[in-house]
Structure formats: structure tokens, C-alpha cells
């Protein structure tokens, strides 16, 4: 994308969006109600992930886009192990052609345990992603034409994948990261690329409850080497990572507190170089929407 295209994407996204894992399991009618309400509140985007065999990414994005009028949606991520690269390119272009300017393609390498459960052999992430992007680009001439270019961002954590995101995409979508990572990611990406981190949140001033919910959320991620290695790269120790996570790590990964506390964390990401921060309120879909309603005045400035 050109610099002008990227400026336009930043303007459309605004400061804060939403990332909801709870959309993956919710009935379709509940999803529609939730995303309509999130759009009404004024959030700039809504993102969700993809598990192999779950809701297919492009069909899912189309559902969310059809249920809303103007909010942008994003894949966080569309899994490279779920489809051929030509299908990834064509699927993104099809959604982009149907909903001009309203879709961001987040592409990610996933994790070895999840890929191997699907019957595939996980390969070196950097090499596989580079080759996958080559094949996507080769398929681009056959993909549907789009009125507005579809931004492509990579799920990138460590320096080499961030460098690949800078060289081969429009930016990065880091997940499960503290604000210290945002500063490093901006440095690696340079000033022109998009940086869209996810930030888990719990709207409670009860430290015990906030950390309990945070640890429940973090449990699976702390078993995945890609995330663990990134945390160690950032200076967290085995002691921080073991036992559900130290308070230091838990508080860095999940922002808990009142509305002002959550807004402060958003500002920390923005000050560190983020273009757009994706809030992921923990809990059920209904609970997440209630938190977003309460947070909107503080984080959106309304």
C-alpha cells in the first residue's frame, strides 16, 4: 500500500478497536447483536481469530460486515495452515471487494500444537511465512479487483518476523504483549507501517478478581512456545511465566482496574507507537459488550 493508503487506513480505524475471542463460539444471532452494539458505541474495528475447523475466517468476516454499516473488521489471524495461499489472497480480495475500505487481513503462522492436531507438520515459522507470502503475491493477478486496497498485516512478535512484516506487508498485529513490546515493534517496523496490538482487559478494581480472570485467560498462551519465547525476549523469567504467571507478568499482559486505568493502558500503547489498540474484554460475549459500553467514554473520548 502507498503512504496515502496507509494514512487513510489509520484515519478509518481511529484510536481504539475491539478483539473478541468470544465471537468464535457464540451463536450467529448473538454475534450480530454484539457487533451492532460495538459499532453503535463508536469503536473503530472488531477483530477475531481463526481455529482450524472452527468458523472459517472469510465467511466469518462477511457475517460481521453484513451485520454492520461502517465498522472495520480484521482477522486476528487468518491461519496460514487453514488454506492455500492463493485462497488466502482470493478470499481477502473477495471480502475487500464486497466491503470497500472495511476489512484488514491479519495473517498468522499459528502454533505447533494446534497445527499438528490438524494433521499437518508445523514448519519453521519465518521460512514458511516468507514462502507463503510469495505464493499469495503470485496469486494476486487472479484475485478479484478491489476498489480500496486491503491492508495485509502479520502476526509478528520477535525481531525477524517484525522485519518480515516491515518488508512484506503493511504492518504488524502483535497479540499477548505488554506495552514494552509495542515500543520495540514500532522501532522494528519503522514509522510508516501499521502497528495494531491487542490488549486484554478486565474492568474491575478488585485485584484478586482481575488477576484471577487474567490467569485463566493466560493459561493456554503460557504453554505455547511462540508466546513464551517472546516474553523471555522481553526480559520475563521462568519464574514470571510459571505457576500461572507472576503478578508482574499478569499485570503487564492484562490491564485491570477502572475506566481510567484501562484508558491509561491504551495511551501507553499509543505513546509507544501503536496506531490502533484492540481491547479484548475478558469473559463471555455479553460480559465483554457490557465492559465495552462502560469503557467507551474513557477510551474513545466520548
Q: Are 152 and 92 in contact (CB under 8 A)?
A: yes
Q: What pLDDT digit, counting tens, does each position of 241-285 carry?
A: 999 999 999 999 999 999 999 999 999 999 999 999 999 999 999
Q: Are 282 and 290 in contact (CB under 8 A)?
A: no
Q: What is the pLDDT of residue 302?
A: 60
Retrieve residue 39's grid coordinates.
459499532
Q: What is the pLDDT of residue 95?
A: 98
- The model's confidence at residue 121, banded by pLDDT at 50, 70 and 90, is confident
Indicate whether 106 pLDDT > 80.
yes
What's the longest Cα–Cα distance across the chain? 54
Q: How many CB atoms lie within 10 A of CB 87?
A: 14
Q: What is the pLDDT of residue 221?
A: 97
By the 10 Å C-beta count (0-12 exposed, 13-18 middle, 19+ buried), 230 is classed as buried
Nearest Cα to Cα of residue 200 among 104, 80, 302, 76: 76
Retrieve residue 56's grid coordinates.
472459517
Within 8 A by CB and 6+ apart from 271, the residues are none
Give the Cα separation of 283 and 212 in Å (integer).
12
SS3 161: helix
Q: Cell 467507551 appears where?
A: 296
Indicate whether 111 pLDDT > 80.
no
Q: What pLDDT digit, counting tens, does each position of 36-86 carry?
A: 999 999 999 999 999 898 999 999 999 999 999 999 999 999 999 999 999
Q: What is the pLDDT of residue 17?
A: 98
Give the Cα separation of 296 and 23 in Å (integer).
19
Q: How many CB atoms lie within 10 A of CB 142?
A: 10
- The model's confidence at residue 219, banded by pLDDT at 50, 70 and 90, is very high
Amino acid at each position: 500500500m502507498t503512504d496515502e493508503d496507509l494514512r487513510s487506513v489509520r484515519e478509518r480505524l481511529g484510536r481504539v478497536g475491539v478483539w473478541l475471542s468470544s465471537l468464535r463460539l457464540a451463536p450467529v444471532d448473538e454475534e450480530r447483536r454484539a457487533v451492532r452494539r460495538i459499532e453503535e458505541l463508536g469503536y473503530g474495528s472488531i477483530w477475531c481469530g481463526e481455529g482450524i475447523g472452527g468458523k472459517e475466517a472469510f465467511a466469518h468476516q462477511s457475517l460481521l460486515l453484513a451485520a454492520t454499516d461502517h465498522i472495520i473488521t480484521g482477522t486476528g489471524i487468518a491461519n496460514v495452515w487453514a488454506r492455500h495461499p492463493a485462497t488466502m489472497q482470493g478470499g481477502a480480495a473477495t471480502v475487500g471487494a464486497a466491503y470497500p475500505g472495511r476489512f484488514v487481513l491479519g495473517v498468522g503462522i499459528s502454533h505447533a500444537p494446534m497445527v499438528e492436531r490438524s494433521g499437518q507438520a508445523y514448519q519453521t515459522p519465518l521460512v514458511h511465512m516468507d514462502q507463503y507470502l510469495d505464493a499469495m503475491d503470485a496469486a494476486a493477478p487472479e484475485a478479484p479487483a478491489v476498489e480500496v486496497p486491503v491492508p495485509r498485516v502479520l502476526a509478528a512478535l520477535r525481531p525477524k518476523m517484525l522485519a518480515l512484516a516491515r518488508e512484506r506487508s503493511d504492518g504488524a498485529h502483535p497479540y499477548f504483549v505488554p506495552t514494552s513490546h509495542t515500543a520495540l515493534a514500532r522501532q522494528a517496523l519503522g514509522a510508516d507501517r501499521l502497528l495494531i496490538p491487542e490488549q486484554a482487559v478486565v474492568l474491575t478494581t478488585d485485584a484478586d478478581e482481575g488477576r484471577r480472570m487474567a490467569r485463566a485467560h493466560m493459561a493456554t498462551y503460557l504453554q505455547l512456545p511462540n508466546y513464551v519465547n517472546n516474553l523471555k525476549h522481553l526480559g520475563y523469567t521462568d519464574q514470571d511465566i510459571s505457576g500461572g504467571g507472576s503478578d508482574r507478568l499478569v499485570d503487564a499482559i492484562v490491564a485491570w482496574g477502572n475506566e481510567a486505568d484501562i484508558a491509561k493502558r491504551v495511551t501507553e500503547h499509543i505513546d509507544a507507537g501503536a496506531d490502533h489498540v484492540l481491547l479484548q474484554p475478558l469473559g463471555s460475549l455479553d460480559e465483554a459488550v457490557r465492559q465495552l459500553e462502560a469503557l467507551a467514554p474513557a477510551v474513545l473520548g466520548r
